[in-house]
Amino acid sequence: MLKLIAIDLDGTLLNEGHEISNENIKAIRRAEQQGIEVVIATGRAYFDAHAICKKAGLANYIISCNGALIHSREGQQISAIKMEKTDVGHIIKWLEQRNYYYEVMSNNGIYAPYSGREILQIELEGLKGTRSTEHIVALQKLIELMHGQLGMVFVNQYQEFIGRDDVFYKVSACSFDEEKRKNGVNQFMGMKQLSMASSFPSNFEMVNQKASKGNALEMLAAQLKVSFDQVMAIGDSPNDISMLERVKYSVAMGNAKEEIKALCNFVTLTNGKNGVANAIYQVLDTNCE
């Protein structure tokens, strides 16, 4: 019998308006009424994910920063896996020298360059004429979404924050130039102390090698005394793979890439059609049989 459901945010629980639909909220509450624990598992910063859930009237366990942090429903930090400050400094120095947009998630905010929007806009202009209008519009919305995250702190250069007492959990970089993005991935893939993933096609993200959504979900399940064969995970992106490939019940969103769908037991509807609610209701029906 199912006892725990882990749900990704972007592209999964959040619809195209980047909100949690009323139908998804109802489904989560129905699951909780039946004694199933629901946990949010996201690449976003904790305070950003918490604000999204609070707006929807939800209070859940939250796995954030791709598994680097776990918080209780009450906001208590359960687990934290930090990145070494020297690694963060090395990564950001390299990214700044090559004009990448980046974000550094810490306990005090999300650091990003003042020049970040301009960098991405220039890359976006370079795509016009080679991509569809719909694709260009989607990337423009992505720029606005990144800059609209709660806790953004803009800096001129990384020296402004690297010397502070912050604890760093995740570094992400984004480029609409495919060759540039691949160069960044290749540059840091060899750092064995890091784990690398991606939450959307234009970015790459780095955390401590011990951090992943899958590892965090296993840790939380153990703390809640839930067997891992009683866990379901729902996601759409490569940074969800570590949890989707471990749980007994894995669900891919209808909008997920084919490689994600191939990993999963079941493919639900898209995030714009309440795919999370659809998956939860099907499982609840099975639980009641």
For 77, the 3-state DSSP assignment is strand
Measured at the alpha carbon of residue 191, what is the angle toward residues 198 and 178, in degrees to the nearest 5?
40
Tell me how crowded residue 90 is: count the other CB atoms within 10 A of its CB: 13
Q: Are 45 and 34 in contact (CB under 8 A)?
A: no
Q: Are 94 and 167 in contact (CB under 8 A)?
A: no
- In angstroms, the CA 104 to CA 116 distance is 13
- In the structure encoding, which two tokens stand for residue 159, read together? 């020296």
Nearest 5°: phi and psi at 35?
85, 15
Q: Write down the catalytic residue from 8, 10, 48, 236.
A: 8
Nearest 5°: phi and psi at 2?
-70, 135
Q: Are 177 and 204 in contact (CB under 8 A)?
A: no
Q: Are 7 and 275 in contact (CB under 8 A)?
A: no
First to last CA, the chain: 10
Q: Are 271 and 7 in contact (CB under 8 A)?
A: no
Q: How many helices (H) and strands (E) does the chain have?
A: 11, 14
The b-or-e profile of 150-170 (16+ CB within 10 A means b, else e) is ebbeebeebeebbeeebebbb
Active site residue 8: yes
Q: Which residue has the tokens 């102390």?
A: 193
Residues with active-site annotation: 8
